[in-house]
Structure 1
Amino acid sequence: MIDPQRSTPENLVARVRAVLPSLTPSARIIAQMILDDPGTVAGSTITELSATSAVSEATIVRTARVLGFSGYAQLRLALAAAAAAAAATRNGPDRLVPGDLAPDDPLCDVITKVSRAEAQAIEDTAAQLSPELLGEVVDAITAARRVDVYGVAASGLVAADMAQKLLRIGLPAHAFTDAHLALTSAVLLRSGDVAVGVSRTGETPDVLEPMRRAHRAGATTVAITNNPRSALAELCTHVLISAGRETAFRPGALASRISQLLLVDYVFVGVAQRTSESSNEALRATRDAVNEFVAESRPRSRRSP
């Protein structure tokens, strides 16, 4: 459950956005009301909110629990704080939910809206990430014999980024974007290894099956996903939640990818800190190797006759 003293308007909004796509239609009505007008929800009793939304009181309680609260009363306290913070900073729903891109938007609006969406994704991801959870993931990867990272399409790019970062500091890490190769690797994992699954929806079969096999083999499993209620999240030992509200003009390759890369950077820096001596040595060695290769590959100027 959420500690009301540690709940902030930012991480509450981030949690609501994170679970919104996975909620039932009735629960989604309540979640959207929270995003659109937290003050009204905070000022309503559960009976009043049920009448306004045409959603049952039981569904309202379940929605509060999905968001991490013990019940509706605790949620109202957090929403009151969110509404007060929004009023103090003059932030309304348009600030909380950036405007959608339209086909006829001028490029100046494209720049503004895309920048705002990606900045918001970063802020939401940071707001809802627990340092304790990040520490557990960092500890597991630091101690791992090997790290497998699975992802396809845009998430495959994130998987590759994570693997190459860990490899640069001397950790045996590999990214797999092909399901057959991922399965081949996953079944060879064992206790002490770490498998990381990257999937915005948390329902990608090409990521889920290797993660299931890795879990059966005894590996520690880590999810990077937008959906905390997904099959991937339920399967994994640790779940890192990325943020990013997508539309037809902002597919998974935009805001969600940025927030996934942010989580990878958090993990990478944490591991590098835990292994600072060996990491610095590995970084120097890999940097020197690349620099030497580049220098030797440059065309030599021809000598004058």
Structure 2
Amino acid sequence: MLPPPAALAAKVRTLAPSMTRSMQRVAEALVGDPAGAAALTVTALAEHTGTSEATVVRTARVLGYPGYRHLRLALAALAAEQAAGRAPAVTPDITVDDPLAQVVAKLAHEEARCLADTAAALDTTALEAAVAALAAARRIDVYGVGASHLVGQDLVQKLLRIGLIAHAPADPHLAVTTAVQLRSGDVALAISHSGATTDVIEPLRVAFDRGATTIAVTGRPDGGIGQYADHVLTTASARESELRPAAMSSRTSQLLVVDCLFVGVAQRTYDRAAPALSASYEALAHRHGPHDPAEDHR
């Protein structure tokens, strides 16, 4: 299935950092002027970008199109969509002098675009396969460091509440030692925006070698993490800046993917997930009611 036109710009933003410089020039020309690019033949686009016809075709395939003809159709559709809409009213660049109201507006705009980009580019076939593996898993290990570990913890606490056995080891050495215990029927899920974090790749590799089903949530599907993942879920990120590093901007899209996984698993296991959720709500209900100080002394 071909990506929808709206996914084209999102895929370029997500995949461009991992492309060769010549492919980046082609990709930049595509999203910079989709209408103009759609009017060019493969030869003309190669000349326009100072590349080759083979580079143009490779770029089209990396973006999910069988060939340049399919890409041209998507470019024409994207140009039509852009013509019917309006350019965003705010820019993503945050400066040290921006008033907080402007910071809020810029961050909200970037977060929304990041979520839209991730949703547009997400491979739903890979998502379905990942959901099926998680729903049937005997045990689930989730690996991540820094901000990605926080996302992993979010997924684990949700899975625990619907009765699944899940862990998110914080210590990299512990992650490897627990991965050694995995086997066929288990799932290891690794989260890394860069796709190159050694402390995440190593336990995923061990789990892969042990026969567990492996899932990667990453902004760089061609990074080292991809070679040990049975299923890859690609995330987008907002523009990185001095005041907003990649770890912050990528967390938004990672959380979206985590929510998609959780809801998919809860749907698939509803008969046991619903009672488990009800039980967890009931067990915690007294902690969310009015607090009586006298109870502390009984």
Give the TM-score taking structure 2 as reference length: 0.92
Counterparts of 1:204 and 1:26, CA distance in 2: 26
Q: Residue 250 of structure 1 corresponds to which residue in structure 2?
A: 244
2:12 aligned with 1:16, yes or no? yes
Q: Does 1:77 align with 2:70?
A: no
Instruction: Provide the residue aligned with 1:233 in structure 2.
Output: 226
Shift of residue 203, structure 1, vs aligned partner: 0.7
Contact 2:92/2:239, CA 8 A, preserved across alignment: no
Aligned length: 296
Query: 1:157 aligned to 2:153?
Result: no
Query: Counterparts of 1:139-154 in structure 2 under 5 Å?
Result: 139-154=132-147
SS in 1 for 2:178: helix
How many percent of aligned residue pairs carry the same amino acid?
48
Picking from 101, 104, 107, the partner of 2:94 is: 101
Q: Give the drift of 1:73.
A: 2.1
Task: Tell me the equivalent position of 1:263.
Answer: 257
Are the aligned partners of 2:218 and 2:234 in contact in 1 as well (CA < 8 Å)?
Answer: yes
Matched, 1:31 2:40: no
The whole-number CA distance in structure 1 between the counterparts of 2:75 and 2:102 is 31
Give the aligned partner of residue 87 of structure 1: 83
Q: 1:100 touches 1:247 (CA, 8 Å); kept in 2?
A: no
Q: Which amino acid aligns with 1:104?
A: D
Amino acid at match of 2:199: D
The secondary structure found in structure 1 opposite 2:293 is coil
Letter in 2 for 1:135: E
> Residues of 1 paired with 2:51 and 2:187: CA distance?
42
Cα deviation per residue 1:24-50 (whole Å; 9 max; x = unaligned)?
111111112222211121111222222
Deviations 1:220-276 (A, max 9, x none): 000111112222123211111111133123323333101100111111111111111
Distance 1:280 1:87 in 2: 45
For structure 2, list consecutive stretches of 5 or more residues without a partner in the other structure. Answer: none
> What amino acid maps onto 1:210 in structure 2?
P
Instruction: Indicate whether 1:130 and 2:123 are aligned.
Output: yes
Displacement of 1:128 in angstroms is 1.8
Q: Which amino acid aligns with 1:214?
A: A
Q: Do the aligned partners of 1:154 and 1:252 also contact (CA within 8 Å) in 2?
A: no
Contact 1:145 1:172 in 2 (8 A): yes
Deviation at 1:293, TM superposition (A): 5.5
1-structure distance, mates of 2:147, 2:183 = 28
Partners of 2:29 and 2:150 in 1: how far apart? Answer: 35
- What is the alpha-carbon distance in structure 2 between the residues aligned to residue 154 and residue 265 of structure 1? 16
- Which residue of 159, 163, 188 maps to 2:181? 188
Q: Deviations over 1:62-90 (max 9, x none)?
A: 11111111222221111111111111224
SS in 2 for 1:198: strand
What is the match of residue 56 of structure 1?
Answer: 52
Quote the offset at 1:157 in angstroms: 0.4
Separation in structure 2 between the aligned mates of residue 282 and residue 297 of structure 1, nearest angstrom = 26
Answer yes or no: is the 8 Å Cα contact 1:156–1:177 preserved in 2: yes
Question: What value does the CA root-mean-square deviation take over the aligned residues?
Answer: 2.2
Q: TM-score, normalized by length of structure 1?
A: 0.90
Asked if structure 2 preserves the Cα contact closer than 8 Å seen for 1:18 and 1:228, the reply is no
Task: Verify: 1:290 aligned to 2:255, yes or no.
Answer: no
Secondary structure class of the residue paired with 2:142: strand
* SS of equivalent residue, structure 1 residue 148: strand
C-alpha contact 1:118 1:254 (8 A) present in aligned 2: no
Q: Distance in 2 between matches of 1:115 and 1:214?
A: 38
User: What is the letter of the counterpart of residue 137 of structure 1?
Assistant: A
The range that moved more, 163-172 or 244-253, is: 244-253
